[in-house]
Amino acid sequence: MSQPQASQTDAAARAQTPQNPTGPGRLRRMAGWWGVLIPPLALAGVYAARALGSTGLIAKPVQEVAALMLLPAAVAVFAVRWYRTRDRLHLVLTAFSAALLCREIHFPGTHRGIYVAAAVIAVWCFLWRRSLIRRLWGTAKGRWLTIAAWSYALALLIQRRALRFLPDEADLHVQLEEVLENVSHFLLLVAALL
């Protein structure tokens, strides 16, 4: 094969290779800049449910049950991925998901335990920062995890009552926090599935 033919063959192979290294799939492409709107839209959903009189879905007991379905699924998917690949990223995400699950179950020690788990996870992230960043940078999993982190941050702000300027925040802060936490858990599960 002559040199010009080889370069034409290489060009044809590159043209058939997808530009997205994470592979095809609508969910992988969806986490663009608009993903940061998901948590505020969830907050608007709480207000819409209240305005429509459909407060059953945003009630704390319903949200607690939903959390106990979403988080075990995320823990299981991350754990299986870690077991199969022994990838540090999946170990960190398994530990993080498991810590959140323990906190949602509300057994003695979980209130302080989440801080201990967060410290251990933070040390792992610091020690493995280069490989973790390399695995997440520019990937769909990284984008969905970023959106989940944004959602968790908003939920913490609501829990700490830092967003008192929101309308009827005094009456709705529990529902706002619980719904936003479940949106975060769902986003974590989406990242686990990628």
The tens digit of pLDDT for each residue in 71-118 reads: 999 999 999 999 999 999 999 999 999 999 988 887 777 778 888 999
Residue 50: inside a domain: no
Residue 161: inside a domain: yes
Q: What share of the chain is helix, strand, coil (3-state, %, to 5)?
A: 80, 0, 20
Asked if 151 and 40 count as a contact pair (C-beta separation under 8 A), the reply is no
In sequence order, which ranges of 86-139 are alpha helices (DSSP H)? Answer: 88-105, 110-127, 129-136
Residue 8: inside a domain: no
Q: What total number of domains does the chain contain? A: 1
The string of pLDDT tens digits covering residues 22-80 is 444 555 555 567 888 999 999 999 999 999 988 888 999 999 999 999 999 999 999 99
Read off the tokens for 59.
Answer: 């009630």
Residue 35: inside a domain: no
Residue 186: inside a domain: yes
Residue 64: inside a domain: yes
Q: What is the domain range of residue 102?
A: 55-193
Residue 11: inside a domain: no
Residue 115: inside a domain: yes
What is residue 6's predicted lDDT score, i.e. its pLDDT?
Answer: 46
The string of pLDDT tens digits covering residues 147-184 is 999 999 999 999 999 888 888 888 898 999 999 999 99
Cα distances (Å, whole numbers) of residue 184 to 18, 20, 67: 30, 25, 10
Cα distances (Å, whole numbers) of residue 91 to 14, 45, 69, 97: 34, 33, 21, 10
